[in-house]
Every structure is written in C-alpha cells, then in structure tokens.
C-alpha cells in the first residue's frame, strides 16, 4: 500500500542553516496540541521522488556518493537544478518532503511517531545567527516556537550525554576570500545552541528510522537496511591516550563504554576554557574507529545509540537517499532487498566519504598555507599541539593554522625529546614544551605545494 502524503502547508515550518547555505534539505514543523503535547516534524527533502533509481542522474550520484565541500567551491552530488532549486526547501514554495513526525511532551519524551511523505511550505529561512540571538534574548519571527523547540532539544541533549554520548569539542574554521578566491582572513567560530537545536532533532530522526527497521525481536522479521555504525575505540591508541593524559594529571576510565564516555566528557568539560580543549578532543577522536555505512547494525559508539542511520541529508549524501528508498519500499510491503548488493553500496559510499574528507582537509590546509604565505616573518601566539624527536608542532590561536618548529630552530638551548614526559626539554635551561604549552612563534617559511608551514623562534608564554 502506497504511503499517503500528508499536507503540512498550514503548519508553522522553517529551516535553520549556515549564512552561506545554498541547499536546504531539512526543515522543522511545530504544532502545539490540545493535550499539552507537541507535534514536531523533521521534514527532509524528498529527493527520491525526483531521482529515480537506476537513472543517469542516480548512477552519477551513486558514483560520487557525497558532495565535497572545499574552501572555495562545492562539488555537488546532484545537479544544482535539483540541489539548489527543486529539492531545496526554500521558503514560500511548496516542497515534497519525507518526514518523521513526532508527538513529544514537555519532558522531551517521544510518545509516538510516524514516518510519512509530507508536503510543506516553509514560512521562514533562518540562519544559525538569527536563531542564536533569539535564544540569547533577542527578538525574531516565531520566537515562541523556537524557544519551545530549544527547550526540548536541550533535554534531549542532556539525556544523550547522560546515557553515554561523547561530547567531543569542536571548533570550525571559516575563510574570508577575495574576488580571486585568495584567503584574506581566517575566522574560528564555535558551535552554539542554535546548531545544537537542529542537531538534536536530526539525531532523533536518524535514530528513530534505524530503530523502526532494526528493532525487531524476531531476526527473520528484520529487513535489510543501511546503518551508520561506529565501532569501539582502538585499544592500542586508547592505551597511549590514557598514558599521555595521566602524565599531565588526568585520568581516563575505559572499563566500560559508559565510564569511558563519562571520563572523556569530564576531561573535555574540565579543560573547555583552556588551550588544551580542542587538542584533547582531537587526540581522543583519533583513538576512535571511523564511522562507516553497513547493513550490519553494530550501533554507534560515539553517540551511544544502539540504532543509528543517515536519513536527514539526501541532497548531499547518497546513503540517505538509499535509506529513503528502503523505507518507502518497506512501507509499501515490499520484500527485503538483497543484503550483499546493499553492503557493496555501503562500502562504496564509505570509501567515497573518506576520500571527500581527505580532499576537504587538504583544501583547508592549502588555504591556511596560502594565508600564512603572506605572513612570513610575522609572529603569532598559539599552543603546542604535538611533540616529536624532530621538533614541536604548534596550532595558532588566531587562525587555527598548524605548523612545525624544527629542533634546530629553537635556538636558545640544545633541546631533546623526552619520551617518558611526552615533551621537548632544554638541556641547560630545563624549559619544557609539551602539548598544551602556550607559545609564540614566527612564520619562517611556507611551502604551498606541499601545504607545509615552518615556524621558528619558539618562545614559551
């Protein structure tokens, strides 16, 4: 039986995205109910209604598997006529969507849900900055609804961390480019409540669709599906991380998944206003396995979810499009798809995602090097982000560029690497440079093609 599309055009609906977003693939609808509960819809662009399986556009989208977000351009998975127009949930236009519609009470408890095709007409396109100002007390359209949504999202977030999600610290870098796409400034900004509002409802939708399919007591009734899985941390890397943080006064308890999550979150919270915050988070993140797509549900370790999938970004991620198609097939009573065929697609999407991430990181590193190429000889403050036998790595505060000060450039003493202390130590002056040490450095040389930044004249602050 075909799923009936429900008309939400008379329900308050809006999108919340970055300032420079061009495609809007998710929207929230909000409607108070007479019993005091809320109907909250997570509406996602219904790309599957435009891109038919096996078509030329679909085959190309599968090959790409993901959009690639470079600093100065986007390489989209879908043609821009779809991603920026027909599928994009722009305001004041009727749009086809696929949704999870929740009934939620004021304690953020999900009382019921429905997965269904919907029709929306977004009332407003918000930026994160606009919503953040309202959360902080400013005026704005639909402020009452925004604050009610944030109240629920805040409880969902608190509950998630209490149950074992790991709260990795994050800081994003944004480049200001001139007309020739040359970087003229690098801006670092932190994620705030407006970002978390959207994040919590997207996580709730992703978790719900995965649980809807996968949480069947009888194995024979479980249909083949695409899960987003995150395995347990690498034991050797975790042991090294524990040893390192112990030497600088912190303890990690990894006897269980919950104890590890709680001790990591305590570490991040304790150090959140120090130079170590992002460094600890970055190093801890490297101990973790890589999240991938799979037909075998292993759960998501970092999020602390038994069931998780990707449902909310089909404009830019092919696995989300696969999930939409599977849900629709199963809602129509069609049999389970071939597991081997779907697993092959999952592996391809995981591979392409990894390549895209590598390209994105290389793009950022290139623009950082290009920016500092204009700053050779200038001095910057930063924090030691790594130490080795050959030198000291430094992450600059102002622009999050990272480079290396070789041992021979330290200058005022003979320095050596003390493996037991994870530090570079001066033989005569006993100065110690270890991860988290506040320093200043000069930009010595930049190799743009190799994306390498050399520092010199390292000084402790």
Count other Cβ atoms within 10 Å, centred on residue 108: 18
For the cut 80, the answer to whether the pLDDT of residue 230 exceeds it is yes
Specify the pLDDT at position 348. Answer: 98
- Mean of the per-residue pLDDT values for the chain? 92
Work out the pLDDT band at 461, boundaries 50, 70, 90. Answer: confident
Please determine, for residue 2, whether its predicted confidence score (pLDDT) is greater than 80: no
Q: What is the pTM of this model?
A: 0.92
Task: Provide the pLDDT for residue 266.
Answer: 87
Measured CA to CA, the distance from residue 414 to residue 430 in angstroms comes to 10
Q: Look at residue 324 in the predicted model and tell me its pLDDT.
A: 98
Task: For residue 118, list its beta bridge partners.
Answer: 6, 97
The span from the CA of 242 to the CA of 461, in Å, is: 27
Range of weakest confidence among 39-53, 200-214, 407-421: 407-421
Share of residues in the chain with pLDDT > 90 (%): 70
Residue 430 confidence class, pLDDT cut points 50, 70, 90: confident
Give 400 or 169, the one with higher predicted confidence.
Answer: 400
pLDDT bucket at 62, cuts 50 / 70 / 90: very high
410 versus 160: the higher-pLDDT residue is 160
Q: Answer whether 383's CB lies under 8 Å from 395's CB.
A: yes
Residue 91 has pLDDT above 90, yes or no: yes
What is the structure's pLDDT at 221? 75
Which of 93-97, 291-295, 413-417 has the least mean pLDDT?
A: 413-417
Cα torsion through 55, 60, 63, 69, rounded to 10? -140
Q: Is pLDDT at 273 greater than 90 in this prediction? A: no
State the pLDDT confidence band at 174, using cuts at 50, 70 and 90. Answer: confident
- The pLDDT assigned to 188 comes to 78
92: Cβ contacts below 8 Å, ≥ 6 apart: 121, 122, 123
> Which band of pLDDT confidence, cut at 50, 70 and 90, is reported for residue 275?
low
What pLDDT, on the 0 to 100 scale, is given for residue 411? 73
Question: CA–CA separation, 338 vs 354, rounded Å?
Answer: 25
- The total of other beta-carbon atoms located within 10 Å of residue 138's CB is 11
Dist CA 274 CA 39 (whole Å) = 41
Coil vs helix vs strand at 428: coil
Proportion of the chain above pLDDT 70, given as a percent = 98
- Sorted by sequence, the CB contacts under 8 Å of residue 79 that are 6+ apart come out as 57
For residues 255 and 122, which has the higher predicted lDDT (pLDDT)?
Answer: 122
What are the phi and psi torsion angles at 300 (to 5°)? -115, 105
Residue 219: pLDDT above 80?
no
Instruction: Tell how far CA 34 is from the center of its chain.
Output: 36
Task: Write down the pLDDT at residue 3.
Answer: 67
279 pLDDT higher than 80: no
Q: Quick check: 236 pLDDT over 90?
A: no
Residue 1 has pLDDT above 60, yes or no: no
pLDDT in tens, 355-406: 999 999 999 999 999 999 999 999 999 999 888 899 999 999 888 889 999 9
Which domains are delineated in the chain? 6-229+291-368 (no CATH), 235-287 (no CATH), 376-460 (2.40.50.140)
pLDDT at 220: 67
């Amino acid at each position: 039986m075909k799923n009936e599309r429900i008309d939400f055009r008379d329900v308050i609906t809006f999108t919340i995205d970055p300032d420079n977003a061009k495609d809007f693939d998710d929207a929230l609808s909000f409607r108070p109910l007479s019993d005091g509960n809320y109907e909250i819809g997570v509406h996602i662009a219904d790309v599957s209604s435009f891109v038919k399986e096996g078509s030329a556009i679909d085959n190309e989208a599968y090959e790409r598997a993901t959009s690639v977000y470079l600093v100065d351009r986007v390489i989209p998975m879908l043609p821009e006529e779809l991603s920026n127009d027909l599928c994009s949930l722009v305001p004041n236009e009727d749009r086809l969507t696929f949704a999870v519609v929740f009934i939620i009470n004021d304690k953020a408890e999900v009382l019921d849900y429905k997965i269904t095709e919907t029709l929306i007409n977004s009332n407003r396109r918000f930026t994160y900055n606009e919503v953040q100002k309202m959360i902080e007390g400013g005026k704005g359209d639909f402020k009452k609804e925004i604050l009610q949504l944030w109240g629920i999202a805040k409880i969902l977030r608190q509950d998630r961390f209490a149950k074992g999600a790991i709260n990795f610290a994050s800081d994003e870098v944004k480049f200001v480019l001139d007309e020739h796409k040359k970087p003229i400034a690098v801006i670092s900004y932190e994620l705030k409540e407006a970002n978390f509002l959207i994040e919590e409802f997207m996580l709730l939708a992703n978790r719900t669709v995965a649980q809807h399919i996968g949480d069947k007591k009888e194995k024979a009734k479980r249909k083949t599906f695409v899960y987003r899985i995150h395995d347990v941390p690498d034991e050797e890397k975790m042991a090294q991380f524990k040893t390192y943080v112990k030497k600088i006064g912190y303890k990690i308890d990894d006897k269980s998944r919950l104890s590890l999550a709680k001790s990591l979150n305590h570490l991040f919270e304790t150090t959140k206003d120090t130079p170590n915050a992002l460094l600890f988070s970055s190093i801890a993140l490297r101990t973790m396995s890589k999240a991938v797509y799979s037909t075998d549900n292993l759960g998501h370790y970092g999020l602390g979810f038994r069931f998780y999938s990707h449902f909310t970004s089909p404009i830019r991620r092919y696995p989300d499009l696969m999930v939409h198609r599977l849900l629709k097939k199963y809602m129509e009573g069609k049999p389970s798809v071939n597991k081997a065929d779907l697993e092959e697609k999952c592996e391809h999407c995981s591979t392409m995602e990894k390549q895209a991430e590598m390209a994105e990181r290389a793009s950022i590193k290139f623009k950082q090097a290009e920016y500092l190429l204009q700053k050779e000889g200038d001095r910057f403050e930063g924090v030691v982000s790594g130490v080795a036998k050959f030198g000291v790595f430094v992450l600059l505060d102002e622009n999050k560029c990272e480079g290396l000060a070789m041992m021979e450039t330290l200058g005022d003493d003979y320095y050596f690497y003390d493996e037991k202390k994870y530090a570079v130590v001066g033989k005569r002056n006993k100065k110690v440079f270890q991860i988290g040490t506040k320093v200043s450095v000069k930009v010595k040389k930049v190799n743009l093609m190799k994306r390498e930044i050399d520092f010199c004249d390292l000084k402790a602050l």
